[in-house]
Structure formats: C-alpha cells, structure tokens
Structure 1
Amino acid sequence: MTGERVRPQLVFVHGIGRPRDPQQELAEWTRALADGARAAGFADEISALTMGWSADAAFAHYGDLFYDADAQGTGGPGAGGPGETDEEEAAVMLGLLAELVDELLERAEDEDSRDLRRIRAQLAPDDQAQGVGNLARTLAAGLAALAAVPGLNAGARVLSRQKILSIVSQPGRYLARREPDAAGRTLDRRIRDRVLGCLDPARPAIVVAHSLGTVVALEALAEHPGPVPLFVTLGSPITTRGVVWPLLRPSPPATPATVDAWADFRDGDDLVVPKRRLAKAVVPNARGVRPLSERMESATLWPHDATSYLRRAEVADPVMRALAAPAAVR
C-alpha cells in the first residue's frame, strides 16, 4: 500500500572471536548503543531502540564458521593456530603480525623498544624462506615473543598470545579465500552470505560493523542492492597496507554504491587500526560518498572491543539520527 512506512533494519556485524550466541550478543550490543545514545542526548529514543520499535535489529553471526569441523583446510575446532595454516594463509598472518608490530613502533612510548625492533626484524615477512613450515614457525615464534615483551603501552599489555593470534589468523583465513565447504563455497563467501542473509534489499539498513566485520561488511555491501542510509565502521583494519588493503574486493576498495553515508570511528589507542585513514584511501561511490573518519581518545584499557565503541556518544549520535530520519515509503 502506497504511503506505508518502511521499517528500517539495524544490522550489527561482529569482528574476530569465537562462536557467539547471536541473541545474547544482539542484546549486549543494543544495550551498549543505548548507553551511547543516552550520552549523546537521545534519552527519549532509548526505549524505541531497546524495544525494537525504531528498527528491526539483527546480529550477523559468522564466528562459528572459523571452527566448522566440516570445512576443508584449517576449519576444524581450534582452527587458527599457525601450525594448521597453508602457505598463503601463513604469509598473510605473518604480514598482519608485522604490521601490528609496526603500529606499536609508531607510538611514542614504544618507538625505542629494542625488543619490538628485534621482533620486527625477525619477522621480515618479505625475506622469509617460502614454505608453510618456515612461515608457521616464524609466526609462532613472533606471537610468543610479542606477548612476552615487557613494558608495552597500556593497551598492548592486555594482549595475550591467543588474542594476538585471533587478531592475525581470522583475517588471514578470510582473505585467503579458501576452505571450501561441500558445495564449493569458500570461507569468505560463507561469511558474507551470513551478513547478506540479515539484509532485506527492500528495506533501508543501518549497518554497524566492528574490526574484521568492517572488512566483511564492506565486501558484502558491494553486492547488496538495497538502500543503506548509514554504514558505521568501528576499529577497522581495512587500510592495513601490506595484507588487507591489497586483498580486498573490489579493488581498489570503494564506498558501496547504495551507501548514503559512511561514518568511521577509531580510538587513538586501538592497536588494530592502522595509521592510514579510510577517508583518504577509499574511492567514493558515484554520488561522492566516502568515509568520514573520526579519531577518539581512549576510554578503556583495551579500546578495541565493540561495546566500548558503541558506548561512545560520538558513535551513537549518527546511528540514532539515521534511525530517526524519515523512513522510505512504499
């Protein structure tokens, strides 16, 4: 019926990590966003957000796919360990670890660290002898050495070996575009399908993505024909120059055609976010839309968590404004 209000969608896309309970995560992310909305002056709209009146919310969950025992290659339980990767995945992971060390070395408090400089020289991914065994051993040694470095800045000190491994292994496996299932769908394809399955092309969607999820969402939205009034990226590694940026599809990376606005947020102490800014790197779409990046000061010891970002007024403000905007009509 013409003139009928089209209910928007609010789709959250998570980053690295183990399998999650989608309903529990949806509730936690929504509560965190509500905290941010309150701080941004949207107290009157919080009930509509948390009760689902302002939008139909969904949590695009794909974490279980990294632990799918039926997947080929490295997809079994506990996957992600350096000894379980193939040569291409190990090379990507090693490159990500090297860039993580580079990010640490660019910080004033760590730039003179002899331990970090030694680790970086030992990683030297471009100079490594080829072969998954050599790459995997170098990766394992680098992970252990980095986790053991004393005196890192406050954010880096909370990094365990397992957390560092998660940061480098899951993006590496996604970008390797391998591990086909029985139907021949690669791991990255199955992950994007999870996101696209939460999007109704007939309805406007506000998409909020975190960490690896920003890479996934960017590629998924490139295939999505429906309207996206707002795309929000939190703690994004998209511009990681050595191993993420050149492997993205399409190339060069561009704002998806149906995105009306892109708000990118990065915490100054978030070790996962590279120095290169999205706003300067991404090609605008046909309507001239490109990311608007905003740097924030750290509010927590480990600022990379999605809920830490969502509780910030700066993040909640554009989301709440997009939800309150006049909806499309049929």
Structure 2
Amino acid sequence: MTKEKPQLLFIHGIGGLRDSTAERRDWLRALARGLRDADLSDHISALTQGWLADVTFANYSDLFNRRGVQGSASLDLDDEHDTRFLADLLDSVLDGLAEQLSVESSPHDARIIRDARFQLDAAIEGRQAQGPGNFGRRLIGVTTTLLRLPGICRAAQWLTGLELLSELSQVGRYLNRTGSKAELGAAIRSRVLHGLDPGRPLVVVSHSLGTVVAYEALHEYEGTVPLWVTLGSPLALGAVVLDRLVPRPGRCPENVAAWRNFWDRDDIVVGRPHLADWFRPSTSGVKVVTERVDSRGPWTHTATKYLEHGAVARPVVEALRS
C-alpha cells in the first residue's frame, strides 16, 4: 500500500498584505537553510520540489482589510476595545523587554524601554479623562519610542509608531469575541483550514499571531497532526492572549502528536520561554516542548529567521518522513 503524501502548512503572523507564492518560496528556502544547518542537505530537493509533502502557505492577510467582515478594518483609535487591548499587549511586551535588556547588559536599550514604560503608565493613568481617541494617540507615542531600539530601527519593518501599533492591533482584532466582530476570527480560521485533507497527516509551522490562529484552528481540525511548530509565539502573554483563547484553559490540541515551541532571546516582540508552563497537556499526555534558539542579525521576529535553525528544520522534516 502506497503511503499518502503528508501536508505541510505554513501560517503567518502580523503584517501587511502578503503574496502567497513569494512567501511560500521564502519559507521553504529558509527551511532549506535550516536543513543545511542540521546536516540534512540530502532532503532539500525533496522538500523544495514538493516530493516530500504538499506545501501550503495559508494567507489570511487580506481579511484584516476586507469589507463586509466585522472588525477587519485598520486600527480605529476611537475603538475602546482596540486601545484597551493594545495597552495590555504593550504592557506585557515591555515587561518581557525589561527582563531581557537590563541596564547592566544593554544600558542604551534599557533607557528606551524605561522611557516607553513611563509613557505607557502615564497614558493608562489618564485613560478615563482622555477618551479612547486621545488614549490611542498616546499609545502611538509608546510604539514610536520602541522604534528607537536598534533591533527594530535597523530592520525597517515598521517606519512609524502608528504602523507598528496598527499591526500589533491585529492580535486584538483576531481575538475580539464581541458580537459580529467574532466573524473575523472565524473567517481567518476557515481560510487556514481550507483545502486541507483530514485523511492525510498534517505538519503545521506557525509564526507570531499565526500560532494563536493555529491553536484555535487545530482544536477544530479533524485530521491527525504529527507535529505542530510554534515560532515567536505570543501564546505565553498571560491574560492579554492566554485568557482570550478558545478553548481555555490552554491545552495541547488532542490531534497533535508533538508540539515544539521555539523562542529567541532577542525576539523583542515575544521572547518569553514560559509557554510550556502555561498550557496543559492533551489527555494522551502530549505537552509543548520549548527550546531557545539564537538568531543572527538585528531583527529576529520573522518566521524565516527561525526556520534557518537546524533545531527547527530537523523535526519538521523528520515528521514529514515518518
């Protein structure tokens, strides 16, 4: 009996509109570099030529700007839900940065983080008197300050504090369960699961917000998942994300045979190693295994940076070959 070809699914995170073909190519190329790093170059052609697995890049980026889907418009500074979520998210991000970048190890970065913390605390303290619009504009000041961090400004991924804040708001808009605004999250999960064959094994590689989407989508998926990989995940951001997930409390999806989470100490968006402590195992005992990787270069919060590591690429290919 011929073994059915497995499926490999890439799920992206926050950001602007994406080109599915180009992103699929870039993620595969990065994974190929990871295979070289893992001394598994013999498998590169099988992966990149599609012999090893059917590879899909799940692109939902257009849904954040799609007319007719509630909650999909760009950042609304007058939306109290959006601004409240962003304040909570920035609070968690700044806590993580303060843990990683101390005055002793990174005095310049620590001063920037201290300035951003002062701005955020002042904005939160005066929130009731300001109104959502003014409060949101003060949050732009916080993200503008964060853009002074060398790791962000050298990457040039965001040119303005408003652009950074708008993309961070995608996390809150996805998790918004308020009335018709829940339609956006449902539409994103539907897009991610579309076209998958539950009769064939599925390996999932998800990044950033994509790990949140994957968590909820995999709880809905009826097929088997030999491996789920999470990269630069905000799932460990406590109440701001964890307490908004469905289902909760957080637990490994029942159809997942192995869950590997990778984080980078210099990932300034979500560089926390605590995810393994906050998610319960599945009923069969499968729980998340977390591993730190150290990326090269100034900006580490991209999927391709993570995929270049042999530690990430090896389990992906091993799961596809099993």
Q: Hey, what does 1:129 align to over in structure 2? A: 128
State whether residues 17 and 166 of structure 1, in contact with CA within 8 Å, keep that contact through their aligned partners in structure 2. no
Q: Hey, what does 1:248 align to over in structure 2? A: 245
Code of the aligned partner of 2:268: L
TM score, norm. by length of structure 1: 0.87
Pair 1:305-2:298 in alignment: no
State whether residues 101 and 120 of structure 1, in contact with CA within 8 Å, keep that contact through their aligned partners in structure 2. no
Pair 1:265-2:258 in alignment: no
Gaps of 5+ in 1: 326-330
Match of 1:34 among 21, 32, 35: 32
Q: Hey, what does 2:115 align to over in structure 1? A: 115
Pair 1:104-2:97 in alignment: yes
The residue correspondences of 1:218-229 to structure 2 (distance < 5 A) are 218-229=215-226
Code of the aligned partner of 2:50: G
SS at match of 1:231: strand
Per-residue Cα deviation, 1:137-186 (whole angstroms, up to 9, x for no partner): 223212224323686353476554145214421001001135848xxx71
SS at match of 1:242: helix
Q: Hey, what does 1:295 align to over in structure 2? A: 292
Code of the aligned partner of 2:127: Q
Cα offset, 1:39, TM superposition:
1.3
- CA separation of 1:246/1:136 partners in 2, compared to 1, >3 Å: closer, same or farther? farther
User: Which protein is richer in helix relative to its size?
Assistant: 2
Match of 1:17 among 6, 15, 18: 15
Q: Hey, what does 1:170 align to over in structure 2? A: 170
Q: Hey, what does 1:95 align to over in structure 2? A: 88
Cα offset, 1:276, TM superposition:
5.3
Q: Hey, what does 2:272 align to over in structure 1? A: 275
Per-residue Cα deviation, 1:96-122 (whole angstroms, up to 9, x for no partner): 122222222222124455413312322
- CA separation of 1:54/1:143 partners in 2, compared to 1, >3 Å: closer, same or farther? same
State whether residues 232 and 271 of structure 2, in contact with CA within 8 Å, keep that contact through their aligned partners in structure 1. no
State whether residues 261 and 291 of structure 1, in contact with CA within 8 Å, keep that contact through their aligned partners in structure 2. yes
- The count of corresponding residues between Structure 1 and Structure 2 is 312
Taking the aligned partners of 1:149 and 1:274, their CA distance within structure 2 comes to 15
SS at match of 1:245: helix
Deviates more, 1:260-269 or 1:109-118: 109-118
Code of the aligned partner of 2:128: A
Code of the aligned partner of 2:77: P
Taking the aligned partners of 2:82 and 2:203, their CA distance within structure 1 comes to 32
Cα offset, 1:296, TM superposition:
1.5
- CA separation of 1:149/1:202 partners in 2, compared to 1, >3 Å: closer, same or farther? closer
TM score, norm. by length of structure 2: 0.89
Q: Hey, what does 2:61 align to over in structure 1? A: 63
Taking the aligned partners of 2:288 and 2:37, their CA distance within structure 1 comes to 24
Taking the aligned partners of 1:137 and 1:49, their CA distance within structure 2 comes to 50
Pair 1:216-2:213 in alignment: yes
Gaps of 5+ in 2: none
Deviates more, 1:36-45 or 1:136-145: 136-145
Taking the aligned partners of 1:14 and 1:102, their CA distance within structure 2 comes to 25
SS at match of 1:80: coil
Match of 2:4 among 3, 6, 10: 6
State whether residues 215 and 253 of structure 2, in contact with CA within 8 Å, keep that contact through their aligned partners in structure 1. yes
Per-residue Cα deviation, 1:199-243 (whole angstroms, up to 9, x for no partner): 211110000000000000010001111110000000000011131
Code of the aligned partner of 1:164: L
Dislocated runs of 4+, deviation >3 Å: 110-114, 148-160, 178-181
- CA separation of 1:25/1:142 partners in 2, compared to 1, >3 Å: closer, same or farther? same
SS at match of 2:220: coil
Taking the aligned partners of 2:264 and 2:276, their CA distance within structure 1 comes to 15
Taking the aligned partners of 1:257 and 1:75, their CA distance within structure 2 comes to 30
Taking the aligned partners of 2:47 and 2:224, their CA distance within structure 1 comes to 20
Taking the aligned partners of 1:215 and 1:150, their CA distance within structure 2 comes to 25
Deviates more, 1:25-34 or 1:116-125: 116-125
Code of the aligned partner of 2:240: V
Cα offset, 1:315, TM superposition:
0.9
Q: Hey, what does 1:328 align to over in structure 2? A: none
Code of the aligned partner of 2:206: A
